[in-house]
């Protein structure tokens, strides 16, 4: 508005100046003509002749000419006024457009364009320390999926106001200069200028965490949402805006990995971890093309008969330099980069091929495969599974897919549709690591899950811990009531297996029975078990 008033005032001054120049020019012209007339006889006689000619013209023509001139002047003045009005409106629209380019309509905060402009300007000045805080709301997707995007937008607007009020109501609001921006769908940025060290803003950010975490009452629902905050400091962590922004993002994602809703200041080791991940991603790409992966199998045992029923497939990486790399070291990177999709397809194909060989000894064997959420998001996943099963002439029921509670918690409508298609295909679905999440109960009645796997963290304490015993009893009772198969993993003591058998859980796997092993080692293990069984049968006395 101030810019608009300034432009109007400037326009008025130009108009006055133009009038003064015109009148000054006319006065000068008249003066020159007057002096020329009285100083030259020729000019004087020309004016007299012009007077006589004019007197001979009829007065009506003079009147017509005079009226015409006046009309032209009026029309020109009206047109000029209309043009000025249009210019005035255009100037107003330009001002509004200028504001909309830098303003986020949903929250009233400055947007990403203004943020980048302000960050570059602040870095260019290079005066004092600047703290860049990147804020990302935790699990807003769940709110959008359950309550709708309209409620999600309202939550974002409320959080924006809470951020603003929290920074305005700091103990010394004038000590630091702060700017708030909305730079993405659920992402905000805060610039804090004038700090002396990182510890200065720690109390401010801790207060901000508490204010954001307060309950939000919308549409009859009580909503609580967290926020992950990453902080980088200039010039310690960078002297250019790109470097500062990248490092604040690294710190923010570190909070996400550590459980969300917290604050992390950038540390040099975060950069080293990122470099390690980038290198690992490149090596994984090569490993997929070179076939450096191998499937290990851990038997699933029936406690009562001690017979092997099937196997769980576990991937290993035969790295040319590092040797055998466990999955915990590379599976998270594969999931984050999307490489888990081609890797997972290779696993399913390899497992089905191995199972077709293992079933020569026992056609009832099954193999369980862990499925990542990125695989469920692949549109061709079900089609590929169906094709692989047909290729090896396997029944769908002989392949079990294990899905973690975290995957179920974050599943969207497309993921749930894929699960239903797998159910309809006949593949048996298991919930892996049951009891470690908090979403399983809402899904147990939606899908035809075949069974649940009790997490090893509960199995470890069933011998000595009454609390672990009660938890396992409760899970087993629920599984029995819902007619779900139960499988205990991580069995390392015979007492653990005995306790599970008493609770109705007859299937187990763990080091007490067998470690994960390669296919060749598994074949030798099976041959040895069959030989021992045959010897026992021969040694048994006849009736």
Q: Of 281, 306, 489, 498, which one is the catalytic site residue?
A: 489
C-alpha–C-alpha distance, residues 519 and 351, integer Å: 10
C-alpha–C-alpha distance, residues 273 and 7, integer Å: 54
Among candidate residues 162, 182, 177, the one with its CA nearest the CA of residue 114 = 182
C-alpha–C-alpha distance, residues 378 and 381, integer Å: 5
C-alpha–C-alpha distance, residues 399 and 229, integer Å: 42
CA dist list (Å): 128 to 134, 192, 193, 222, 235: 20, 11, 7, 42, 8
Cβ-based neighbour number of residue 249 at 10 Å:
18
> CA-based angle 484:466:258, to the nearest 5?
75
C-alpha–C-alpha distance, residues 27 and 32, integer Å: 9
CA dist list (Å): 430 to 171, 394, 417: 53, 19, 16
Among candidate residues 434, 493, 485, the one with its CA nearest the CA of residue 461 = 493
Tokens of 239: 């002297």
Could you confirm whether 489 is annotated as catalytic?
yes
C-alpha–C-alpha distance, residues 393 and 387, integer Å: 10
Cβ-based neighbour number of residue 78 at 10 Å:
10
Among candidate residues 448, 388, 387, the one with its CA nearest the CA of residue 416 = 448
Q: Which residue has the tokens 């092993």?
A: 517
CA dist list (Å): 159 to 115, 155, 164, 444: 18, 6, 9, 34
Tokens of 54: 């004019």
Q: Which residue has the tokens 């133009």?
A: 18
Residues carrying an active site annotation? 489
């Amino acid at each position: 508005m101030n810019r608009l008033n300034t432009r109007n005032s400037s326009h008025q001054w130009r108009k006055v100046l133009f009038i003064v120049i015109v009148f000054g020019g006319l006065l000068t012209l008249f003066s020159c003509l007057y002096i020329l007339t009285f100083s030259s006889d020729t000019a004087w006689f020309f004016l007299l002749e012009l007077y006589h000619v004019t007197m001979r013209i009829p007065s009506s023509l003079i009147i017509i000419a005079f009226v015409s001139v006046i009309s032209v002047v009026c029309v020109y003045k009206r047109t000029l006024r209309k043009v000025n009005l249009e210019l005035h409106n255009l100037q107003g629209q330009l001002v509004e457009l200028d504001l909309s380019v830098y303003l986020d309509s949903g929250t009233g905060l400055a947007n990403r364009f203004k943020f980048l402009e302000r960050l570059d300007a602040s870095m260019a000045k290079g005066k004092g320390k600047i703290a860049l805080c990147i804020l990302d709301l935790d699990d807003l997707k769940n709110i959008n999926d359950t309550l709708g995007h309209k409620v999600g937008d309202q939550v974002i607007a409320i959080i924006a106001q809470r951020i603003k009020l929290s920074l305005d109501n700091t103990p010394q609001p004038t000590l630091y200069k702060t700017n708030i921006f909305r730079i993405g769908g659920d992402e905000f940025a805060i610039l804090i200028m004038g700090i002396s060290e990182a510890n200065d803003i720690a109390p401010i950010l801790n207060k901000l965490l508490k204010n954001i975490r307060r309950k939000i009452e919308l549409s009859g629902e009580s909503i609580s949402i967290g926020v992950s905050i990453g902080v980088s400091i200039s010039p310690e962590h960078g002297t250019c805006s790109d470097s500062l922004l990248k490092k604040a993002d690294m710190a923010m994602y570190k909070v996400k990995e550590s459980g969300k809703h917290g604050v992390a200041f950038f540390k040099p080791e975060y950069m080293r971890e990122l470099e390690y991940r980038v290198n690992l991603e490149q090596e994984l790409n090569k490993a997929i093309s070179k076939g450096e992966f191998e499937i290990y199998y851990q038997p699933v045992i029936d406690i009562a008969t001690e017979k092997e029923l099937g196997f769980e497939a576990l991937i290993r990486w035969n790295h040319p330099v590092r040797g055998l790399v466990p999955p915990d070291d590379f599976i998270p990177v594969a999931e984050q980069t999307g490489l888990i999709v081609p890797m997972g397809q290779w696993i399913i194909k390899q497992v089905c091929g191995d199972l077709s060989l293992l079933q020569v000894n026992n056609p009832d064997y099954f193999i369980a495969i862990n499925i990542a959420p990125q695989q469920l998001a692949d549109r061709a996943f079900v089609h590929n599974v169906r094709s692989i099963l047909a290729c090896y002439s396997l029944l769908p029921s002989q392949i079990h897919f294990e899905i973690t509670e975290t995957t179920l918690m974050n599943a969207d409508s497309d993921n749930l549709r894929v699960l239903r298609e797998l159910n309809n295909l006949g593949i048996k679905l298991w919930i892996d690591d049951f009891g470690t999440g908090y979403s399983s109960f809402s899904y147990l009645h939606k899908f035809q899950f075949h069974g649940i796997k009790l997490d090893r963290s509960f199995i470890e304490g069933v011998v000595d811990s009454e609390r672990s015993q009660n938890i396992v009893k409760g899970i087993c009772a629920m599984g029995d009531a819902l007619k779900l198969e139960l499988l205990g993993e991580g069995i390392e003591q015979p007492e653990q297996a005995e306790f599970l058998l008493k609770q109705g859980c007859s299937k187990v796997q763990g080091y007490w029975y067998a470690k994960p092993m390669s296919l060749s080692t598994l074949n030798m293990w099976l041959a040895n078990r069959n030989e021992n069984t045959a010897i026992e049968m021969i040694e048994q006395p006849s009736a």
